[in-house]
Amino acid sequence: MDEATITPYRDGPLLVRGPFRLTDQDGNVIDARRETIALCRCGKSRMRPFCDGTHKLIRFRAPSGAEDPQDPRGELR
């Protein structure tokens, strides 16, 4: 695999697989220490930007695909 694949999991994190470089907003490298990581989407992880499973405790909800901005319920077509 010569590029990263990012997969959003329903009600969970973004899973990043493959070669990638993770930086903060100032361009400083964040050492991920592995080739596959889970990035927090709920914003409540104590290990941000990495997922620690808190999304399950707070019952975070998000689809695995793109949301329809015209659907007030946030559901996919």
75: pLDDT strictly greater than 60? no
pLDDT of residue 77: 47
Give residue-wise pLDDT tens across range 1-30: 689 999 999 999 999 999 999 999 999 999
Which domains does the chain carry? 1-65 (3.40.5.90)
Amino acid at 55: H
Cα dihedral 9, 38, 12, 40 sign: negative
The pTM for the full model equals 0.82
Going by pLDDT thresholds of 50, 70 and 90, the confidence category of residue 73 is low
Going by pLDDT thresholds of 50, 70 and 90, the confidence category of residue 67 is confident
